[in-house]
């Protein structure tokens, strides 16, 4: 069985090893969070500085809790009724087996059922078809495109903004 537990400093080397180039770094975390080459120090420092507004989790097999398989985070401003899902990443060996779905649905449940948020948002690069497909299947709606937001390896990348409201999520679960 796969479960989510809090992201630990000991998970950092695995996460760093899943990012194999500047393009995958930006695909995962956007243009400004980290610098290529990603290293343990950058991730550890972001864990520390973002601790108050971002919670991060690691997906693991229940019987292998020290072997990370996936990562996700939820950022929130204090007292806000909205949250931003981000940093969704599945180990390259574990992709295509439903782990992305498990990560996103787990955070949706936490956000709407436990934190009682009204809205979840996220940004995804427009050419990231796998991630777009996943988020749309899990109820996120395309709300707009930010055109040509960053220049990556010789081309402009655009982002799609997506959102999901609590009542939409509950209605979809009833069907
Ligand atoms: C995006 C990512 C998190 C998805 O994780 P995953 O474990 O592979 O996802 P799942 O297996 O749960 O689901 C993937 C879905 O995409 C579909 N898919 C796969 N390749 C696709 C493609 N090229 N175009 C459209 N859909 C695709 C799969 O069929 C599956 O949908 P289905 O369950 O309806 O059949 C993972 O690929 C990843 O870590 N990518 C690199 C980092 C990244 O892009 N993160 C997202 C940042 S916004």
Structural domain boundaries in the chain = 2-174
Q: Supply the residue whose CA is at minimum distance from atom 48 of ligand 1.
A: 124
| 154 Cα–ligand 1 center, Å | 24
Q: How far apart are CA 101 and CA 138, in angstroms?
A: 8
Q: How far apart are CA 53 and CA 44, in angstroms?
A: 15
- Name the CATH superfamily housing domain 2-174: Gcn5-related N-acetyltransferase (GNAT) (3.40.630.30)
Q: Is 147 touching ligand 1 by the criterion CB < 6 Å?
A: no
Average pLDDT over residues 148-160: 97
Q: What is the reported pLDDT for 175?
A: 84
pLDDT band at 14 (very low <50, low <70, confident <90, very high): very high
Q: Which of 85, 71, 146, 88 is nearest to 119 (CA)?
A: 85
Q: What is the reported pLDDT for 136?
A: 98
For residue range 56-110, what is the model confidence (pLDDT) as tens digits?
999 999 999 999 999 999 999 989 999 999 999 999 999 999 999 999 999 999 9
């Amino acid at each position: 069985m796969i479960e989510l537990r809090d992201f630990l400093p000991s998970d950092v080397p695995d996460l760093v090893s899943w990012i194999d180039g500047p393009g995958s770094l930006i695909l995962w975390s956007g243009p400004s969070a980290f610098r290529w080459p990603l290293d343990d120090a950058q991730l550890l420092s972001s864990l520390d500085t973002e601790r108050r507004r971002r919670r991060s989790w690691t997906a693991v097999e229940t019987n292998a809790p020290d072997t990370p398989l996936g990562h996700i985070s939820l950022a929130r401003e204090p007292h806000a009724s909205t949250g931003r899902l981000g940093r969704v990443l599945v180990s390259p060996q574990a992709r295509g087996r439903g782990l992305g779905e498990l990560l996103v649905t787990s955070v949706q449940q936490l956000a709407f059922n436990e934190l009682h948020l009204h809205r979840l948002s996220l940004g995804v690069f427009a050419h990231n078809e796998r991630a777009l497909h996943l988020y749309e299947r899990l109820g996120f709606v395309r709300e707009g495109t930010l055109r040509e937001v960053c220049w990556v390896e010789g081309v402009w990348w655009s982002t799609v903004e997506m959102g999901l409201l609590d009542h939409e999520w509950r209605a979809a679960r009833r069907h």
